[in-house]
Structures are given as structure tokens and as C-alpha cells.
Structure 1
Amino acid sequence: MTFEISARQILRRKVRQLRNSLTQEQQHLAAQTLCQKLCHHPKIKTAQHISLFLSFDGEIDTHPLIQALWLQKKSLYLPVVHPFSPGHLLFLHYTPETPMISHPFGIREPRLNVQSVLPVSQLDVIITPLVAFDAQGNRLGMGGGYYDRTLKHWRNSGSYPIGIAHDCQQVDALPYEDWDIPLPEIVTPSRDWNW
């Protein structure tokens, strides 16, 4: 067990360094390409309630996608750490006017407002961040397990998760744990992976 946790930490560090080494031009091109692909994705075209995230630490930039989805009149939601249920996420409605705060990890998130919360079961699409992924749909996150808990019952909820990443975040194989939830689809600028 210690070996696997250690291997996961080493892999996280390595892939985070890779994505942080991308130039601004590479980041920009990746974000624009991904935005175009996702705006034409069948699940997103028919979705009304979409959760995504604000990019952090070299993650593929979601700002072009957010702007494009707002233009399409989609309702967007951002994850917030649940204040009363440790290790879980809430999803809050996100508009250009949403009051934002800085999370202790340095991530911007909406100020908690219970009137803005949408239950996970009512999200049509959950655009999911990840640190690394493999060709079997396994996802390595930041290590908190927030998305694994959120996606545990996605097949019965009606919410469809899509992981997004830079191409350099693909690895040959990930150390896998029982609680890890594989994704049905991961989209990178150059490829769509479906399982």
C-alpha cells in the first residue's frame, strides 16, 4: 500500500511538472482546441446544467470554454468543498456576477450560498479535472478523493462525467485503488477517449 501511494505521488509530481512546462502559446492553443471540441460534443450540446472547474496549477484552461458555454445559454456550476460533509463537493451556480472567494488551496470558488446549490443528480455533464489518465479511463486526481466520491454513482444519477486534460497527461498505466472511479470519456486537444 505504501508503495502504491508513493508511486501515485511521484506520478502526480511528474505530470504536474510536464503540464506546467507548457508554454503560454501551447496552453492557449490547447484551450481553444478543447473548447471547440467540447462545444460540439453531443452530450454538451444537449445539456443544460454543466459543472466544470476553474483551471489551476497548469490545468488546461477552461476560461474559453466557460465563455463559449455562457454564450450558448448553458447553466454552469463550479465545485465547492462541502462545509458539513468532509471530502465531498457541492456544485454552485456560476455566472459572471457570482461573488468569488479564494479557497485555502489557492483555488477561486463561489462564495457558499445554499440557494445556488444544484444536486449532483441534476447535473447533465460533469467536466472533471485530473492530473493523469491512462488508456483504460483511470483517472489520477490531486489525492483528496473529492471527484471519486462525487462520481461514485454517476451511472445511476443521469450525470455524465467527461475528464479533460492536456495530451501530455496521458500515462501508460496508473496505480489503481478500489475507490478510484474510471471515467467513461476523456477529451484532450488531439483525441477523444471513450470506454
Structure 2
Amino acid sequence: MNDTANGSTLGNKTALRRELKRRRRTLSLYQQKQAATNLCQRLKQLPEIRRAKRISLYLPVNGEIDPTRLLPWLRQRKVSIYLPVLRPFSVNRLWFVAYREATPMVKNRFGIAEPCPRFAADKRNRLPAWALDTLIVPLVGFDKQANRMGMGGGFYDRSLAFMRQPGPTPTLIGVAHACQQVDALPIEPWDIPLDVVASDTMIVRPIKTG
């Protein structure tokens, strides 16, 4: 499953994104569940997860690997959990809103469950991204340098653009199925780099230079 994309495909991000999304959708329900279990076992070992007190994760759709098996473990450890929510009156930006067992949920325009607008609009239920310890973000693809391909909307890149400036920043952990790995991904100037990628079979960290 861990076959790589060729050069011509890498030159066409749309085609590559389509192919990687197809790969994850072809996984059986059993494979999806097993991958989620293996992923969460790996995530629990990461120091960036173990020391975090405020974590954002996501609710999976369309074959995305499922990080929600972490929820009981995180709640047992008294970790505050947040979800990305489409920010109203803003172009492709996110809020990070508290996710508790009693949080009222609705589906957004992409069919993804998120805290309802009234709950999300209450500032007491939100946290600025810089105040999070760790973000677990979904990937369409990743490579051996922990470069990331997202859905193409730029939601995370816009919402985390502050990370290019001095100041507090969260740890970014991308997660995906192992079949979503390719040899190399094109890097855009606006891409916010990941600190680590976790899949159901491996942990990938970027090689530090300088």
C-alpha cells in the first residue's frame, strides 16, 4: 500500500490529492478500525501528546484516519479537548472550540460535525490557536520529510499563519494512513510545517538543518 507517486503526478497536485483520497477510501472498515487503533497507540507514546494539557483533534470523514479513540484516554488524563470549527464571516479560517461530552453538535457545510454556532460563538468555549499545546491535523498526503498535503482549502495554513512570527506556538502533528505516504511533496511558501507525522505504521519527523 505504501507505493510512491511518480514525478508527473507530483507535478499535478490536484491529481495527486485525488489519488491519495482514493487510496484511503478503498480501505475496508476493518482496515480503518485497525489503523485507528494502531495510530492512537503510537500517539500515546509521543512526548508532545503526553505532556499536552490542551489538544485539538478532528472528527474524521471520507476515509480520514480516526484519532478519536484517544478521547477516553485524554479525558482520563484531564486534558482539555478542542475541535476545529469553521469561523463565521471569515474566508477559510478556523476557531478552536471546546469539545466535551455534552457539547451540542451540528454538521457544517462540508458535512463535518462541529460544535453548534451558538456554543462556538461564546468566547468562553474557544481558545486561540497559539494557546493550544498540540494540534492533531488530518492529512491527504505526507512524505518522508514530514511535509503535508491538506484538502486544498488552506484552513490550517491561514489559521496558523501566526506561527511564522516569534511567540508561543502549538506542536503540529499530522496523521494519516500509511498508504497516503509518497516519496516527496511539493512545498508552497504558505505551508505551515509539521513537527511530526504519525500513521498507523510509523512516526516521521523532519530532518533538522543548520
After TM superposition, the score normalised by the length of structure 1 is 0.92
- Contact 1:34/1:187 (CA < 8 Å) preserved in 2? yes
> How many Å apart are 1:5 and its aligned residue?
10
Tell me whether 1:31 sits opposite 2:32 in the alignment: no
The share of aligned pairs that are identical, in percent, is 45
Equivalent position of 1:169 in the other structure: 180
- Contact 1:35/1:65 (CA < 8 Å) preserved in 2? yes
- Contact 2:141/2:150 (CA < 8 Å) preserved in 1? yes
- Contact 1:138/1:181 (CA < 8 Å) preserved in 2? no
Equivalent position of 1:84 in the other structure: 89
Q: What residue ranges of structure 2 are gaps of 5+ in the alignment?
A: 1-7
Tell me whether 1:14 sits opposite 2:19 in the alignment: yes
Letter in 2 for 1:157: P
Aligned mate of 1:98, from 103, 128, 133:
103
Match runs of 1:63-82 below 5 Å: 63-82=68-87
Q: How far apart are the structure 2 equivalents of 1:157 and 1:4?
A: 37
- Contact 1:76/1:93 (CA < 8 Å) preserved in 2? yes
- Contact 1:7/1:175 (CA < 8 Å) preserved in 2? no
- Contact 1:54/1:108 (CA < 8 Å) preserved in 2? yes
> How many Å apart are 1:170 and its aligned residue?
0.5
Q: How far apart are the structure 2 equivalents of 1:135 and 1:128?
A: 17
List structure 1 runs of 4+ shifted beyond 4 angstroms: 3-6
Equivalent position of 1:59 in the other structure: 64
Letter in 1 for 2:92: G
SS in 2 for 1:153: helix
Letter in 2 for 1:123: L
Cα deviations by residue, 1:126-180 (Å, 9 ceiling, x for unpaired): 1111100111222111111011122333373231100011100111122222212
**What root-mean-square deviation, in Å, do the aligned CA atoms of Structure 1 and Structure 2 show?**
1.9
- Per chain length, whose mean CA-contact separation is higher, i.e. which structure has more relative contact order (CA < 8 Å, sep 6+)? 2
After TM superposition, the score normalised by the length of structure 2 is 0.86
Tell me whether 1:160 sits opposite 2:171 in the alignment: yes
Q: How far apart are the structure 2 equivalents of 1:151 and 1:134?
A: 21
- Contact 2:58/2:68 (CA < 8 Å) preserved in 1? no
Q: What residue ranges of structure 1 are gaps of 5+ in the alignment?
A: none
**Cα gap change, 1:154/1:66 in structure 2, threshold over 3 Å: closer, same or farther?**
farther
Number of positions where the alignment pairs a residue of Structure 1 with one of Structure 2: 193
> How many Å apart are 1:40 and its aligned residue?
2.2
